[in-house]
Amino acid sequence: MDNYRKILVAYDGSPSSRNALRQAFTLANWIKVVAVIPDYMGDLDLTGISNIKEVILGPGQKLLAEAKEIAQAEKMNILTDLEQGEPYERIVQVAAEENCDLIVMGRRGHSRLERELMGGVTARVIGHTSKDVLVVPENTHFAWGEILLATDGSKYSSAAVERALELARQHSAKLNLISVVDVNDEFSAQAPAAVNELTGKAHALLEEIKVRADVSGITTRTVVKEGEPHVAITELAAEIGATLIILGSHGRKGLTRLLMGSVTERVIGFAPCPVLISHYQM
Asked whether the predicted pLDDT for residue 243 surpasses 90, the reply is yes
Higher model confidence: residue 192 or residue 122?
122
User: pLDDT at position 38, please?
Assistant: 84
Higher model confidence: residue 87 or residue 42?
87
132-137 β-sheet, strand order: 79-84, 30-37, 6-10, 102-107, 132-137, 275-278, 244-248, 146-150, 174-181, 220-226
Please, what's the largest Cα pairwise distance for the chain?
75
Higher model confidence: residue 3 or residue 207?
207
Confidence of residue 120 (pLDDT cuts 50, 70, 90): confident
Find all residues with CB under 8 Å of 208, minimum gap 6, and list them: none
- Which of 115, 142, 169 is where one domain is finished? 142
Among 136-145, 169-178, 241-250, top mean pLDDT goes to 169-178
- Which of 121, 142, 163 is where one domain is finished? 142
Q: For position 44, which CATH number holds?
A: 3.40.50.620
User: pLDDT at position 254, please?
Assistant: 40
Range name among 36-50, 99-113, 222-236 with the lowest pLDDT average: 36-50
Residues 84 and 151 in one domain: no
Helix axes 262-270 and 229-240, enclosed angle (nearest 10)? 30
User: pLDDT at position 261, please?
Assistant: 58
User: How confident is the model over 12-34, as a mean pLDDT?
Assistant: 95
Helix (H) or strand (E) holding 109: none
Residues 166 and 281 in one domain: yes
pLDDT, tens only, 199-230: 999 999 999 999 999 999 999 999 999 999 99
The sign of the CA dihedral 276, 233, 162, 166 is positive
Residues 187 and 271 in one domain: yes
Residues 108 and 23 in one domain: yes
- Which of 142, 159, 176 is where one domain is finished? 142
What is the count of structural domains for the chain?
2
Contact 80, 110 (CB under 8 A): no
User: pLDDT at position 132, please?
Assistant: 96
* Closest CA relative to residue 92, chosen from 149, 47, 131, 136: 131
Contact 104, 10 (CB under 8 A): yes
Among 20-24, 108-112, 125-129, top mean pLDDT goes to 20-24
Contact 161, 149 (CB under 8 A): yes
Q: Which domain holds residue 112?
A: 1-142
Residues 100 and 189 in one domain: no
Q: What percent of the chain has pLDDT over 70?
A: 85
Q: Is residue 57 classed exposed, middle or buried when 0-12, 13-18 and 19+ CB atoms within 10 A define those classes?
A: middle
State the Cα–Cα distance between residues 108 and 105, nearest whole angstrom: 9
Q: What percent of the chain has pLDDT over 90?
A: 69
User: How confident is the model over 87-91, as a mean pLDDT?
Assistant: 96
Residues 256 and 170 in one domain: yes
Backbone torsions φ then ψ of 92, nearest 5 degrees? -65, -40
Residues 70 and 28 in one domain: yes
User: pLDDT at position 258, please?
Assistant: 40
Asked whether the predicted pLDDT for residue 13 surpasses 60, the reply is yes
Provide the 3-class DSSP secondary structure of residue 221. Answer: strand
Confidence of residue 40 (pLDDT cuts 50, 70, 90): low
User: pLDDT at position 183, please?
Assistant: 82
Residues 204 and 161 in one domain: yes
User: pLDDT at position 136, please?
Assistant: 97
Contact 60, 53 (CB under 8 A): no
